[in-house]
Amino acid sequence: VQLQASGGGLVQAGGSLRLSCAASGRSYAMGWFRQAPGKEREFVAAISWNIANIYLADSVKGRFTIARDNAKNTVYLQMSNLKPEDTAVYYCAAKLGGISTTTAEYDYWGQGTLVTVSS
């Protein structure tokens, strides 16, 4: 499975961005993670292959949503009301089976896209 994340950039606090992740396969649970400088990679959001299950980290609930279009093999992370602490490299990841919030359970990773939120 090849993953290609895009959509990162520089945005002011309170702004919005939508990240996209194109996958070469469709029957995978997909997740978004992020890693800020000097910090460990952390879970952001995940969605099952059939869209029946969605997880969001508490830090982004009410501001971020995750969605997928299986016809396009693409997963989206809509980010709103962005805060400086959301600044990080965002990675999309794929795994077989059910969704997970655990980094180690994901089998495939994209290259990451940088999101910078200025105050």
Are the C-beta atoms of residues 40 and 109 closer than 8 Å to each other? no
pLDDT tens digits along 88-99? 999 999 999 899
Nearest residue to 102 via CA among 37, 48, 36, 31: 31
Q: Which structure tokens are listed for 66?
A: 């995750």
C-alpha to C-alpha distance for 81 and 1, rounded to whole angstroms: 32
pLDDT tens digits along 3-20? 999 999 999 999 999 999
With cut-offs at 50, 70 and 90, classify the pLDDT of residue 24.
confident
